[in-house]
Chains A and B, each alone.
Chain A
Amino acid sequence: MTMIVDVLSWVCLLAGGFLGISGGIGMLRFPDFFTRLHAAGVTDTLCAGLILLGLMMQAGWGLVAVKLFFIILFLSFTSPVAAHALARAALHGGLKPLLHKAEEDPSKP
């Protein structure tokens, strides 16, 4: 049983780490702000969630797991909201070059 949990948590940690790096690369390579937002979204939610989940499995039941759970909860609350506010501000903020770029960007519908 512990073996299975261990393996699962490793898988979670590794997957989280991989997603983190891929999100980071996307953050670097994507052409404009709105596409970068997607990359950052990956690292902020899934990567963080997976890594923290992996840690939770390692920690077992207890105060540590509860704290980790709260971190997941807060992150899953705050980071989409932050991303939303960011995108909104970028759209509304009258950022001309950015809007211009977003219109030109073929990947954006």
Chain B
Amino acid sequence: MFAAATLAILVTMGLALIRAFRGPTVYDRILAVNMFGTKTVLFIAVFGFLTGRPDFLDIALAYALINFISTVAVLKFFAYGDLDNTAATPDEGEDG
């Protein structure tokens, strides 16, 4: 049963990957990366059960957090990088 779930996750990862390659806009790619990250979390969690050592969920947990951080970072940098290359200040979220 875990194998089936793993397979499903792998297929989804593949689909997300295709979207990331094709993605016409940057946002599509970000979305695909985000989704891919979530799928990686799931994959690691399920794989731990598949191999019978489910103690390694820390990794999945770390992924879930880091993935969020990197998505936010990507969005922020993208927004500023695109606005004006020379005046890009990635640190003005608060006092704008």
Partner among A20, A55, A85 whose Cβ is within 8 Å of the Cβ of B39? A20
Compute how far the CA of A74 lies from the CA of B51 in the bound complex, rounded to whole angstroms: 24
Tier of interface size on chain A: 35 or more
Q: Which residues from A are CB-within-8-Å of B5? A: 13-14, 16-17, 51, 54
Closest to B64 in A: A74
Q: What are the interface flags for B11-47 relative to A under an 8 Å C-beta threshold, 1 for contact and 0 otherwise?
A: 1111110110000110110111011001101100110
Q: For the complex, count residues of B whose C-beta is within 8 A of A.
A: 47
Partner among B8, B15, B38 whose Cβ is within 8 Å of the Cβ of A48? B38
Contact A95–B35 (Cβ < 8 Å): no
Compute how far the CA of A25 lies from the CA of B19 in the bound complex, rounded to whole angstroms: 10
Closest to A54 in B: B5
Closest to B43 in A: A51
Contact B64–A75 (Cβ < 8 Å): yes
Partner among A43, A51, A68 whose Cβ is within 8 Å of the Cβ of B35? A43
Q: What are the interface flags for A76-100 relative to B under an 8 Å C-beta threshold, 1 for contact and 0 otherwise?
A: 0011011101100110111101100
Compute how far the CA of A70 lies from the CA of B82 in the bound complex, rounded to whole angstroms: 35
Residues of B within 8 A of A (CB): 1-2, 4-5, 7-9, 11-16, 18-19, 24-25, 27-28, 30-32, 34-35, 38-39, 41-42, 45-46, 49, 54-55, 57-58, 60-61, 64-65, 67-68, 71-72, 75, 78-79, 82
21 contacts between A and B (CB under 8 A): A13-B1, A14-B5, A17-B5, A20-B8, A20-B11, A20-B12, A20-B39, A21-B12, A23-B12, A23-B35, A33-B27, A36-B19, A51-B46, A58-B49, A71-B41, A74-B64, A75-B41, A78-B67, A79-B68, A93-B82, A98-B25
A51-B9, A52-B42, A74-B65 given; 7 more Cβ-contact pairs under 8 Å: A23-B35, A43-B35, A51-B5, A51-B45, A75-B41, A86-B27, A93-B82
